[in-house]
Amino acid sequence: TQLLEQSPQFLSIQEGENLTVYCNSSSVFSSLQWYRQEPGEGPVLLVTVVTGGEVKKLKRLTFQFGDARKDSSLHITAAQPGDTGLYLCAGRLPGGGYQKVTFGTGTKLQVIP
């Protein structure tokens, strides 16, 4: 059983289209991060959300943390070929000694020019 499930696993869209990627769990997270990873490179942090219901915008990317802090979504408006990559959500579970970040299963996005 995966702690953090992402959907869809793969997404191929045309340039200019909108898309939403989902990250779901049955566990409550103290914070959740979204990363983008290019092939052969490390994950690059896009955003951290902490408060239930929080919405953050990063240019054409909109991130939302669910009210119950169990899920999150990433919405991309007018996708561009440069958005192509692997999108990972990652969460920290609450608790004093819990430092590790648990990664989701990933969504591979391809934006076709």
Partner 1 sequence: EPEVTQTPSHQVTQMGQEVILRCVPISNHLYFYWYRQILGQKVEFLVSFYNNEISEKSEIFDDQFSVERPDGSNFTLKIRSTKLEDSAMYFCASSEDRGASEAFFGQGTRLTVV
Strand order in the sheet with 19-24: 5-7, 19-24, 71-76, 61-65, 55-58
Tell me whether residue 66 or residue 106 sits nearer to partner 1 (CB atom): 106
Give the integer Cα–Cα distance in Å for 27 and 68: 9
Q: What are phi and psi of 81, to 5 degrees?
A: -55, -30
Binding-site size, partner 1 (CB under 8 A): 25
The interface region with partner 1, picked from 7-15, 53-61, 68-76, 101-109 by CB under 8 A, is 101-109
CA 48/CA 86 separation, integer angstroms: 17
Among 72, 106, 107, 109, binds partner 1 (CB under 8 A): 106
Q: Does 99 bind partner 1 (CB under 8 A)?
A: yes
For partner 1, the binding residues (CB under 8 A) are: 30-31, 33, 35, 40-45, 48, 50, 88, 90, 92, 97-106
